[in-house]
Structure 1
Amino acid sequence: MSDTPSLHTDESRYSTAKLLRRLLALAWQFRVDCLLSLALSIILLLLGLVGLQLLGTAIDVIRHALDPTAVPPAYPFGWKPPANWSPLHVVTALSLAIVAQAVLRSVLTYSYNMTTVRLTQGKIVPELRGKLYSKIQRLSFRFFEVHGSSSIFNRLTGDVQNTRLFVDGVILQGLNMLITLAAYFLYMWKIQASLTLACLSVTIPLALVTHYYSNRLRPGYQKNRDLYDGLVEVFSQSVLGIQTVKGFAAESDRIKKFETGNRAVASQQQKIFWDLSVFTPITHFLSQLSLVILFAYGGWLYVQGRIPLGGGLVVFAGLLQQFTGQVANLSTIANSVQQSLTASKRVFEVLDTPIEVENNSNPVKPSRLKGNLVFDGVTFGYVPQTPVLKNLSFTAQSGQVIGIFGMTGAGKTSLLGLIPRFYDPQQGRILIDGMDLRDLDLDEYRRQIGIVYQESFLFSNTVAANIAFGSPYATQDQIEQAARAASAHDFIMALPKGYNTVLGESGADLSGGQRQRLALARALLLQPPILILDDPTASVDAKTEHEIVSALRHAMEGRTAFVVANRLSLLRRADRILVLEEGRLVQEGTHDQLAHIHGPYQDAAVLQLMDLAREERSAA
């Protein structure tokens, strides 16, 4: 599998415009919640304007009470206080209205926050993460060979969160900002047009600065995600390979490697933060510059009597402060845009990855298979131009044990991978009971195949749950029957809680032979007519090998079995042995036949006999 290609990203497919269209389509799926959130933000905006107007009116009432020659206050919303009310009564009424507005605004703010959180964390993130996980489960092995586990983990966690940021941090915040700016602009224009134009003249340089930094930030975020993937990979490999690390006293080297990656991530983040630390103060400075214009030009207008104090200058100041606050929020929105674009590209790359092996339009659901398997002129390569199996043809009859032998790189594991249709051949066809594998329902077909790998993975769960992994509704009797067939029942019962014993990560608290027998029990629980054994005794000692071979001998009875092994002790029990060399079938026959014919199998048999003789002499 060393010839597996890298999956290069089609950058044109993930241009900014196309990413934005897809992110908008994502938001459209949740348009009802988005509109509700937007409606609440508009109501909050209106309540804020009401509060400002009431405050300005209260100031004008107080000023007129202190100076009866001043311009009388203009009461908002068509309201006029009773003629017998004193200024104190009017100010009290306006104050109570401001308090009521503030209370209502607090309640609606809570509703807005809860609606937004429910939309993003309760709907968008779970659905997007579920789609991503479902797609990953359906992708071929090629995807996992190209992308490291750390990259996949980060896409499923952090990148999904940053993708949803486009909805609440860009669309909702952006629309809210535009509506707010428009409302404030119209209100300020109504109060004093020339003052509005003067104060908002700073928005042009602000827009230019925002555009510049938006383009500058995105490559930095992309590089940061790649560096973070590498850092997580170093950490995960150090944890998974802790025995190897300690065995070679390589702790200091791994620490240095992690520190190097950690510094690279920190350095890249500092570059991003440096850009933001320059960008944000610039936007705040330009925003505050408008206040200088307000006090200078607005003060002159007030002295000239062209704008009132409370309902004019004070309200205008409040509106301008809110306006500049919203404009200053551009830096946050621009930052969110770049984060979401970077993350969404990584998420969509997974969602867009084609499923290489899937059902045709009308798959056949096979009944119980007999196990007659035919390879008819099969040529296959992980890179189509570099085949690892070449014009391979053979037939396995139901109930036969087929041994597969060859040197490293001969194509043994590749051949096994074609039987459960993990890959499709580029040429030729594979038949099971006379049916082309490509015509069968993939899940139904694979459920009739039991697989035991050289290093079988066990989950951090109970022994019973591990055995029943492929058949979660199996009864306890069925689980124990499978364990007995795999010669695993006795050692399971010796565990602290028997079948309810919770295993450590990857079954690390079991011996190699015990793990293999549990994996065999897991495969046998399905009662498969086809059994695939990928060198199950490769990394065990002689005693453990004897235990596994004994269990396998019983397991293979009555099944079509394919056994890859380099140790002839397992292959000699095969009904027929296929000898592969550079992807071609160069010999086939029984153990006794091949042992007496010059070729790769005989060479291996002689070498193993010589090794055995040397061991016996050493023991003597």
Structure 2
Amino acid sequence: MTGPSGGRPVPGQRRPAAPSGPPMARMMMAGGAVDKSSDFKGSTRRLAGLLRPQRRLLFVALLLGAASVALGVAGPRLLGHATDLVLTGVFSRNVPEGVTKEQAVAALREGGHGTQADLLDSLNVTPGTGMDFDAIGAVLAWVLAVYLFSLVFAVAQARLTNTALQRMLSRLRTDVQEKITRLPLRHFDSERRGDVLSRVTNDIDNLGQSLQQSLAQFTQSVLMIIGVLAMMFWISWELALIALVTVPVTMLVAARIGKLSQPHFVNQWRTTGHLGAHIEEMYTGHALVRAFGRQEESAATFAEQNQKLYEASWRAQALAGLMQPTMMFIGNLNYVAVAVVGGLRVASGDLSIGSVQAFIQYSRQFSQPLTQLASMANLVQSGVASAERVFELLDAPEQGPDPVAPARPGELRGRVEFEHVAFRYEPDKPLIEDLSLVAEPGHTVAIVGPTGAGKTTLINLLMRFYEVTGGRITLDGVDIATMSRDELRAATGMVLQDTWLFGGTIADNIAYGADGATREQVVAAAKAAHVDRFVRTLPDGYDTVLDDEGTGVSGGERQLITIARAFLAEPQILILDEATSSVDTRTEVLIQRAMSTLRAGRTAFVIAHRLSTIRDADTILVMENGAIVEQGTHDELLTAGGAYARLYRSQFAQAVAEV
């Protein structure tokens, strides 16, 4: 069965303001720039909540990350020890055998070489022995093993983190899909389809990429800062304090740049949604755009939206791009300060060269994660901006839940009654007021009237795509508001003017009307709807594959397929909304005959503009401005000479004029 036709906007729903410009541009464009993130901290906490079910995996990943960082941090200290061994070997070789280290130090001081004396005094020199290659080799072997196991633990951490994130994203996509099924029709009437699709695809993908790149890196960076800082204090607390001076500066710069760039990331992804909506509209309406010669205007609108996206993206990335070079500059200042003070400490004999070398490596390792944390701000901001758009969809008002114990008719006969029904899209603009009618089982009720009279709205109320604002609708004496929506709609078949097909074979599209339908049932429904006659002419017959646009079959043939779908469903209530408007006159006559058979014993509601198609209806309702102004049979209404007679004469006069 096809989905409902479009409706009107309702209060309380978000519809972007239409921009100024030509009418076509106003139709195709929507939305404007957003100045700031709605709730950055709240959205971040909500993202953390989404990861809570994966806390065990993330905890194991954290332990692996800690082990990897601990081993990685131990590497420079071991290399510093290797450097001291090399220097010890050099000095041991240069000091003659038989001379003690104390004598060599004293000789250097007497010769005015105080710095070399201090350096020699800090080393464990054995005169005349030279290099201890075994010790150096052992240390280098330990370094290799340490870095190798650090790599193994890091890879394992990355795999577990990726598993946790993908599980979370899979759950989020499922939540969004389930949310869409619970949203009322009015939500989609007030939101552009392309923007909704952008939230479901682009924004979730961007959120996943942002978390993928930032979560593991954040863990590694924090652990690295802790580990490196501990080693730096172990080597020299004075040099460690110098390195710590850069921390508040880094945090201040990162916070300032992040505050400036976050609104632009929000605007970037909102503008992406607007551009996606425009592209989707222009793609689906490509033939219409060409038919009305609107290519240039469409291209101009695209250029305008693309320019807005360029400006938003440029501002966001330009500000975020300041982070990396600024952090590198601060890190270089720290590196210079450590190198100068460390050199003085070596010269004074307080530290060995190997210790200073290790400390300089640690200072680099210390500034690197700080830079990474600061640079992650643009990833996090972009991801949170996308998350907010997904959360907006998840938080959209849902349709009311079905009753806990839904009522159901004792026997489904198809008697439908509208009792003093009232409905309005907007509180101050009533559309239907005090409407009452009865459709007896097996009767055909035709609904006619000018555009905007409320004909389709009446059907939407019957299907509970919208809820009445007054009165009630009953099915076989049971208020449909107390029934399950699924049970109500299972008893109803719809064929609309706007055909809807999905990517699949013709047989699959027809079988959509009934679960578990056999090929014989599909063919029988196709024959009843006169689909079989043109399907047999296709090379693959019922196995012909269609895309969601129905490419390969005409508009009338697409309509016939949707009618066959309704035939197969065999509903108790049948709704036809201009169902034969896309077929030729001969096929329309054939379908009308088939519909007569299909309607036997079923209640049918037929919306029609061509009055010639509803002459045989048991009851004809004439609607104007949301009210039934006339009802009766075709002959009765013509005799009355009222609104129906005027509509009928106008169509007859038009037909004569066309002839």
| Superposition TM-score tier, normalisation by shorter sequence | over 0.9
Equivalent in 567, 583, 595 of residue 638 of structure 2: 595
Residue aligned with 2:420, SS: strand
> In the aligned structure 1, how far is the partner of 2:293 from the partner of 2:602?
47
Could you say which residue in structure 2 is the equivalent of 1:110? 155
Q: CA deviation at 1:541?
A: 4.3
Equivalent in 111, 132, 138 of residue 87 of structure 1: 132
Q: CA deviation at 1:126?
A: 1.6
Matches within 5 A, 1:430-441: 430-441=473-484
Structure with the bigger RCO (C-alpha within 8 Å, sep 6+) is 2
Q: TM-score, normalised by structure 1?
A: 0.92
Amino acid at match of 2:309: V
Equivalent in 577, 600, 603 of residue 534 of structure 1: 577
Of 572-581 and 252-261, more deviation after overlay is shown by: 252-261
Q: Report the CA distance shift for 1:592/1:320 in structure 2 as closer, same or farther (over 3 A).
A: same
> In the aligned structure 1, how far is the partner of 2:612 from the partner of 2:261?
62
Could you say which residue in structure 2 is the equivalent of 1:79? none
Q: CA deviation at 1:6?
A: 5.7
Q: Could you list the per-position Cα deviations for residues 546-593 of structure 1 after superposition, in whole angstroms to 9, with x for gaps in the alignment?
A: 343333233222210000011111221210011111111111111111
Contact 2:497 2:579 in 1 (8 A): yes
Residue aligned with 2:464, SS: coil
Amino acid at match of 1:242: H
Residue aligned with 1:525, SS: helix
Amino acid at match of 2:39: S
Amino acid at match of 1:58: A
Contact 1:224 1:269 in 2 (8 A): yes
Q: CA deviation at 1:509?
A: 2.3
Matches within 5 A, 1:520-599: 520-599=563-642
> In the aligned structure 2, how far is the partner of 1:96 from the partner of 1:437?
78
Equivalent in 286, 306, 314 of residue 262 of structure 1: 306
Q: TM-score, normalised by structure 2?
A: 0.87
* Gap runs ≥5 in structure 2: 1-6, 16-33, 93-100, 102-119
Contact 1:366 1:441 in 2 (8 A): no
Equivalent in 605, 609, 613 of residue 652 of structure 2: 609
Q: CA deviation at 1:466?
A: 0.3
Q: Report the CA distance shift for 1:390/1:413 in structure 2 as closer, same or farther (over 3 A).
A: same
Is 1:206 matched with 2:212?
no
Q: CA deviation at 1:89?
A: 0.4
Contact 2:86 2:131 in 1 (8 A): no
Could you say which residue in structure 2 is the equivalent of 1:324? 367
Rg larger in structure: 2
Could you say which residue in structure 1 is the equivalent of 2:81? 57
Amino acid at match of 2:568: L
Could you say which residue in structure 1 is the equivalent of 2:389? 346
> In the aligned structure 1, how far is the partner of 2:472 from the partner of 2:447?
19
Is 1:467 matched with 2:473?
no
Q: Could you list the per-position Cα deviations for residues 220-248 of structure 1 after superposition, in whole angstroms to 9, with x for gaps in the alignment?
A: 01111121122212222222122122223
Equivalent in 121, 144, 147 of residue 188 of structure 2: 144
Is 1:395 matched with 2:438?
yes
Contact 1:465 1:472 in 2 (8 A): no
Could you say which residue in structure 2 is the equivalent of 1:39? 63
Amino acid at match of 1:415: L
Amino acid at match of 2:596: R
Equivalent in 263, 266, 280 of residue 324 of structure 2: 280
Could you say which residue in structure 1 is the equivalent of 2:343? 299
> In the aligned structure 1, how far is the partner of 2:208 from the partner of 2:549?
34
Q: CA deviation at 1:8?
A: 4.0
Matches within 5 A, 1:307-322: 307-310=351-354, 312-322=355-365
Contact 1:381 1:388 in 2 (8 A): yes
Q: CA deviation at 1:493?
A: 2.1
Contact 2:415 2:475 in 1 (8 A): yes
Is 1:221 matched with 2:265?
yes
Report percent identity of matched pairs. 31
Equivalent in 262, 274, 280 of residue 230 of structure 1: 274
> In the aligned structure 2, how far is the partner of 1:510 from the partner of 1:464?
14
Could you say which residue in structure 2 is the equivalent of 1:163? 207
Residue aligned with 1:494, SS: coil
Of 346-355 and 543-552, more deviation after overlay is shown by: 543-552
> In the aligned structure 1, how far is the partner of 2:163 from the partner of 2:260?
32
Residue aligned with 1:371, SS: coil
Contact 1:366 1:444 in 2 (8 A): no
Q: CA deviation at 1:361?
A: 1.9
Contact 2:403 2:482 in 1 (8 A): yes
Contact 1:513 1:544 in 2 (8 A): no
Could you say which residue in structure 2 is the equivalent of 1:153? 197
Q: CA deviation at 1:528?
A: 0.5
Contact 2:556 2:582 in 1 (8 A): no
Of 446-455 and 136-145, more deviation after overlay is shown by: 136-145
Residue aligned with 2:322, SS: helix
Equivalent in 497, 510, 513 of residue 454 of structure 1: 497
> In the aligned structure 1, how far is the partner of 2:427 from the partner of 2:624?
19
Q: Report the CA distance shift for 1:429/1:71 in structure 2 as closer, same or farther (over 3 A).
A: farther
Amino acid at match of 1:4: V
Could you say which residue in structure 1 is the equivalent of 2:50? 26
Residue aligned with 2:617, SS: coil
Could you say which residue in structure 2 is the equivalent of 1:4? 10
Amino acid at match of 1:372: R
Is 1:518 matched with 2:561?
yes
Could you say which residue in structure 2 is the equivalent of 1:503? 546
Q: CA deviation at 1:322?
A: 0.8
Amino acid at match of 1:151: D
* Gap runs ≥5 in structure 1: 75-83
Could you say which residue in structure 2 is the equivalent of 1:374? 417
> In the aligned structure 2, how far is the partner of 1:510 from the partner of 1:34?
52
> In the aligned structure 2, how far is the partner of 1:307 from the partner of 1:518?
86
> In the aligned structure 2, how far is the partner of 1:11 from the partner of 1:545?
55
Amino acid at match of 1:61: L
> In the aligned structure 1, how far is the partner of 2:272 from the partner of 2:212?
24
Q: Report the CA distance shift for 1:367/1:490 in structure 2 as closer, same or farther (over 3 A).
A: farther
> In the aligned structure 1, how far is the partner of 2:289 from the partner of 2:226?
62
> In the aligned structure 1, how far is the partner of 2:164 from the partner of 2:409?
43
Residue aligned with 1:354, SS: coil
Give the number of aligned pairs.
605
Matches within 5 A, 1:415-430: 415-430=458-473
Q: Report the CA distance shift for 1:195/1:409 in structure 2 as closer, same or farther (over 3 A).
A: same
Is 1:481 matched with 2:487?
no
